[in-house]
Amino acid sequence: MQDVTVSGQGADSSPEQVVRRLAARNVRMVALSWVDNAGISRAKAVPLGRLSQVARSGVGVSPVFDAFLVDDSRVQVDGLGGPDGDLRLLPDLSRATPLAGQPGWAWAPADRYGLDGQRYPGCDRWFATRMVRAAAERGLSLRMGFETEWTVEPDPAAVTGPARVGAGPGFGMARLVDAGPYLLDVSDALLAQEVDLLQIHSEYELGQFEVSTGAEDPLGAADVAVLVRHTLRAVSRNHGLRASFAPMTTLSGAGNGGHLHLSVHRDGQNLFQGGQGPRGMTAPGEAFLAGVLAALPALTAIGCPTPASYLRLVPSQWAGAYQCWGWENREAAVRFVTGMPQERAEAANAEVKCFDLAANPYLVVGSVIAAGLAGYDAAGQLPPEYLGDPARADPAELARLGVRRLPGSLDEAVRQFESSTLLRAALGDPLFDALLAVRRGESRRFADRTADEIVEATRWRY
């Protein structure tokens, strides 16, 4: 049904060898995960002794999950949402990872196949793979990484008392006095799972933290994003805490972002540096980024997929609410990062700041690549960069510069998405139509809810 590859994560060359490796780490169960169109990570688990068989023939899963909303209700679209049909989850054993926060368990991301043995066109991970291949056909490779922000509070179901997560200023050293043991366990778990941990710190809200991980190939970056969130949940639970990755956990806070960093490479060169373009970009690098920036209104339906996302995506909160780019500008939707002179060959990258963690990371990386390739193919150019907070500027000046607010609601984002021929062509009709139906369903589901009710209904779903 698939070519089983098990290189990476220290794996050997066959499912049986992977099983032996996991058994040596006392693994007894393996969770096979995928992410649905509402951004919810789903899973089926199999005993380790069945993993070799499952790697070849898969485990059954209904296509109905493509029609699920955030609250597990569902929409009807082109045969989805009903009782008929079946798919097969096949694990990518190159990513099989013993879970440091859940002894006895391992995790592996899964691809979805039809019963005919062919790739399922609605598979988000297959979409990301296709876009990586489309870039490779042009001689391009990408490096990507997500920033993960999360908020914790005492878990009422916990057996032990909650850890102290500290009070004090945002980013303050004072918070590490209380939160230090918890963050040490978080970092230990991630490092034990061979995650490239770059940094970890407290954020603005009480009980809010952020972890940054190293750049990977796009598919690997999405896999790591899923693994990191699951690890944070497990470690939090071990400390008597409950973790939320929802866009908003309280209306008084800044919310949790899920920023995407990316760089584009050709023939070993980072195309975001060493050129004559804006901030040292090469012409191909500028063109790729111009494509991403131009598509952002439609991309918000991918990267900001729930009504709660638009409670976070507001001006003057460093959420990136305006369609513009700027060097180290944290109010721009696209922040361009150069790094220090001695590290620019590796460090130069762009950060898409407007996305949050309700998004399916596989759809995020795939759709951003699709948009960038459209700009690359068209030899696009970036508009003038914007420095400062657009919300404080003269609207006439913003109009002159072509700086616009990104969609302020899911309905507006859906209209932009629906009209995007670029994203329909990249995603393919089955996945595009399912996404459109789910986004419309989410919008209807929460149409009569207050902001407080939206936050309360979604904060423990992500």
DSSP string over 35-81 = E-TTS-EEEEEEEGGGHHHHHHH-EEE-GGGGGB-TTS-B--BTTBT
User: Could you tell me what percent of the chain has a pLDDT over 70?
Assistant: 95
pLDDT at 85: 87
Half-sphere exposure of 403 (CA within 13 A, CB side): 27
How do residues 361-392 score in pLDDT, each as one tens digit? 999 999 999 999 999 999 999 999 999 999 99
Which pair of tokens denotes residue 332? 């721009």
DSSP strand pairing (29-35 vs 105-113)? parallel
Indicate if the pLDDT at residue 205 is higher than 90.
no
pTM: 0.94
How do residues 40-77 score in pLDDT, each as one tens digit? 999 999 999 999 999 999 999 999 999 999 999 999 87
Which pair of tokens denotes residue 45? 């688990």
Indicate if the pLDDT at residue 1 is higher than 60.
no
What Cα–Cα distance (Å) separates residue 340 from each residue in 198, 210, 337, 346? Answer: 16, 22, 10, 10
Across residues 68-95, what is the average pLDDT? Answer: 88
Q: What is the chain's mean pLDDT, rounded?
A: 92
* Domain locations in the chain as residue ranges: 15-117, 131-151+208-219+246-458
3-state DSSP percent of the chain in helix, strand and coil, to 5: 40, 20, 40
Q: Which residues of 73-95 are buried (b: 16+ CB within 10 A; e: fewer)?
A: ebbebeebbeeeeebbbbbbbbb
How do residues 129-163 score in pLDDT, each as one tens digit? 999 999 999 999 999 999 999 999 988 877 677 77
> CATH assignment of 131-151+208-219+246-458?
3.30.590.10
Distance of CA 272 to the CA centre of its chain: 22
Task: Tell me which of 3.30.1490.20, 3.10.20.70, 3.40.50.300, 3.40.50.720 is the CATH number of domain 15-117.
Answer: 3.10.20.70
